[in-house]
């Protein structure tokens, strides 16, 4: 649940992140990682050392809690002056998961003039905390980890991946020396130390490997000041970046949140894209460079850009527990705001480079528009049926990027139309519940207006799983998303639409074109506290609401000071809320519905029992067996 299992790299990264957090807080100047010949890994820093005193409530040493208890991390506390103002997340599970997935884990802490030791095996304490000697003025924490190979596809940490991780940490911590040592035969060690005095500028140069670029690297940073200087963000939030453009060479892109690598990007990347696009668009307008009839899009500006981005976010929220993608909605506006003004200034101070970027973006836009025009002309001559009148189509005609939302109700459809990205997102509102089409004859499907409109809108006729691939060659949208209320009726509509796709459009399910949009059921209005300003947090269901409230308590928010609103349906949400929570690719949660042929065959049996008209007795027996597993929403 909490880690990748291809190799132990992620559980080692969690230990390294603790060292980085000490460095970010200004308490560590050295981070050492050692690969031992017996397969164990050492991770050490010269920070303050993990506290060894008794926890006031649990009455066990704090260092023991850190390695054995979920959600015991100090990173929950974001109040000014506490241990971690900016850290890698609020999961609070990092090294406890490292410990749980290790055969053995030994900890040495130098703190308060003493050397302390504690040992774990299979996640449990086997050597209790003891004072093992004097440490003088030295402080810090050293771990030695033996990952348990039964949990991983391969037992060793990939060396190139580990080196890349450590180099990137060094790039963002120019005052910190990051060392990787490897034990050789005879007990000798081979070491490499990284320290980038030029920071991320020097790091991006190294990653580009001498590739020719259109512009020199533009490096900048901007952070929010004290309260009152910038009321929109917490003190210290912001971003640093290094970016350049190239015509032909491959692009290099890395992004981080509080020095946690986000391999899948996220909302901070979207903020960088938005801020740069607005700056370049402003430069083009100021110098009157845009040819008539050309319409720029963010990807025209961003498509040939290589960059390193480091966002500093007070309370980062990630999509999934492995932290590969940032989902904090405020990060888009945060990074965009911090990037926009410095980018405007840099472009206008370096007009020749600004023109080079503008000309590249315009060429990209012209090429995109020519491709789109050719596709549109081909469709016009192919005898495609007239699109349904209630379909609000998108402007782009590239099915790889286009999305259509099948929205429950005209009211929600209206909000979705206002809040959508007009370029890439289409809206098809549906009235009422769609026909149960599981046992419906294919030649009678189009008698139902809703099914007729869905088929014509997506450009695919009903078919069998064994139909040739040509049946989907006119597919107009790469993503077909079912967007219904987050209640029982909405779930019913989801099932009816999934029944339609599974039975009559199975190739779309096999290809992974069908999705379920996940709108929130609750909105939590959180008052300002500590460094944090007032904010809104959304929860998909009761379990997530409980988790959010638990986190708020751990952050120090007074219990009961927040307000919880339950949405009765999508129609209650404003266009802005619907975009922010359910449609924005950077912040939404879109659940893919994809199955192999074998899975489709097995699922057909289940759907026959659930949706078949003559299966009432089977359904009753199934509900009697599984009814106690369901929490009814009444």
Active site residues: 408, 485, 487, 489
Rounded CA gap, 244 and 448, in Å?
53
Count the neighbouring beta carbons within 10 Å of the beta carbon of residue 264: 15
Task: Say if CB 145 and CB 162 are below 8 A apart.
Answer: no
Strands 590-593 and 218-223, by their bridges, are unpaired
**168 closest CA partner among 22, 49, 25, 17:** 17
**Which DSSP symbol is given to 54?**
B
Length of the chain: 634
Q: How far is CA 611 from CA 204, 410, 439, 497, in A?
A: 56, 26, 8, 12
Is residue 337 classed as helix, strand or coil in its secondary structure? helix
User: What is the separation of C-alpha 95 from the centre of its chain, rounded to a whole number of angstroms?
Assistant: 21
Q: Which residues pair with 522 in a beta bridge?
A: 539, 566
- Kindly state the helix (H) or strand (E) to which residue 339 belongs, with its residue range: helix 330-349
First to last CA, the chain: 30
Rounded CA gap, 397 and 374, in Å?
10
Q: How far is CA 300 from CA 148, 252, 267, 509, 631, in A?
A: 47, 17, 19, 31, 48
Determine the Cα angle at 243 with ends 239 and 244, to 5°: 170
User: What is the separation of C-alpha 414 from the centre of its chain, rounded to a whole number of angstroms?
Assistant: 28
User: What is the separation of C-alpha 140 from the centre of its chain, rounded to a whole number of angstroms?
Assistant: 32
Q: Which two tokens mark 504?
A: 């009559």
Is residue 45 classed as helix, strand or coil in its secondary structure? strand
């Amino acid at each position: 649940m909490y880690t990748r299992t291809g190799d132990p790299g992620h559980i080692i990264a969690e230990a390294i992140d603790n060292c980085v957090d000490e460095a970010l807080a200004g308490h560590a100047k050295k981070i050492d990682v050692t690969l031992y010949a017996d397969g164990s890994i050492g991770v050490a820093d010269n920070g303050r050392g993990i506290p060894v005193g008794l926890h006031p409530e649990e009455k066990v040493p704090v260092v023991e809690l850190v390695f054995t208890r979920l959600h015991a991390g100090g990173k929950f506390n974001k109040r000014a002056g506490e241990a971690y103002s900016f850290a890698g997340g609020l999961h609070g599970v990092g090294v406890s998961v490292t410990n749980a997935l290790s055969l053995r884990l030994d900890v040495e802490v130098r703190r308060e003039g003493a050397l302390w030791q504690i040992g774990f095996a299979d996640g449990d304490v086997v050597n209790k905390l003891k004072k093992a000697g004097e440490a003088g003025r030295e402080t810090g924490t050293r771990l030695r980890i033996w990952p348990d190979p039964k949990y991983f596809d391969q037992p060793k940490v990939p060396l190139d991946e580990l080196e890349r991780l450590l180099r990137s940490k060094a790039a963002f911590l120019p005052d910190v020396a990051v060392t990787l040592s490897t034990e050789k035969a005879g007990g000798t060690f081979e070491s490499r130390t990284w320290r980038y005095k030029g920071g991320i500028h020097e790091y991006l140069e190294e990653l580009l490997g001498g590739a020719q670029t259109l512009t020199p690297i533009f490096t900048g940073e901007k952070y929010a000041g004290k309260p009152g200087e910038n009321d929109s963000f917490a003190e210290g939030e912001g971003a640093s970046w290094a970016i350049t453009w190239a015509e032909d060479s491959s692009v290099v892109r890395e992004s981080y949140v509080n020095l946690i690598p986000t391999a899948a990007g996220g909302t901070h990347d979207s903020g960088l894209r938005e801020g740069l696009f607005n700056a370049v668009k402003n430069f083009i307008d100021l110098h009157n460079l845009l040819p008539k009839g050309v319409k720029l899009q963010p990807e025209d500006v961003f498509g040939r850009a290589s960059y390193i981005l480091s966002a500093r976010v007070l309370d980062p929220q990630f999509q999934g527990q492995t932290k590969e993608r940032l989902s904090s909605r405020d990060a888009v506006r945060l990074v965009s705001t911090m990037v926009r003004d410095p980018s405007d200034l840099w472009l206008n101070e370096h007009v020749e480079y600004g023109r080079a970027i503008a000309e590249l973006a315009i060429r990209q836009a012209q090429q995109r528009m020519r491709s789109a025009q050719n596709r549109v002309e081909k469709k016009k001559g192919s005898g495609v049926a007239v699109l349904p009148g209630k379909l609000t189509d998108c402007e782009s005609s590239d099915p790889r990027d286009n999305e259509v939302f099948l929205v429950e109700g005209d009211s929600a459809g209206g909000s979705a139309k206002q809040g959508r990205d007009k370029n890439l997102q289409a809206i098809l509102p549906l009235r009422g519940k769609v026909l149960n089409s599981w046992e419906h004859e294919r030649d009678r499907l189009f008698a139902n207006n809703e099914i007729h409109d869905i088929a014509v809108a997506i450009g695919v006729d009903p078919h069998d799983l064994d139909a040739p691939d040509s049946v989907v060659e006119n597919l107009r949208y790469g993503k077909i998303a079912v967007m219904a209320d987050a209640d029982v009726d909405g779930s019913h509509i989801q099932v009816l639409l999934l029944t339609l796709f599974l039975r009559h459009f199975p190739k779309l399910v096999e290809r992974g074109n069908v999705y379920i949009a996940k709108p929130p059921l609750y909105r939590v209005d959180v008052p300002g506290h500590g460094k944090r300003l007032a904010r809104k947090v959304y929860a998909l269901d009761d379990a997530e609401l409980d988790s959010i409230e638990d986190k708020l308590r751990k952050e120090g928010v007074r219990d009961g000071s927040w307000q919880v609103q339950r949405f009765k349906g999508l129609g209650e949400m404003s266009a802005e809320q619907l975009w922010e929570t359910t449609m924005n690719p950077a912040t939404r949660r879109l659940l893919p519905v994809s199955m192999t042929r074998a899975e489709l065959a097995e699922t057909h049996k289940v759907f026959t029992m659930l949706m078949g008209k003559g299966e009432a007795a089977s359904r009753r027996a199934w509900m009697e067996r599984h009814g106690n597993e369901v929490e009814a929403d009444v």
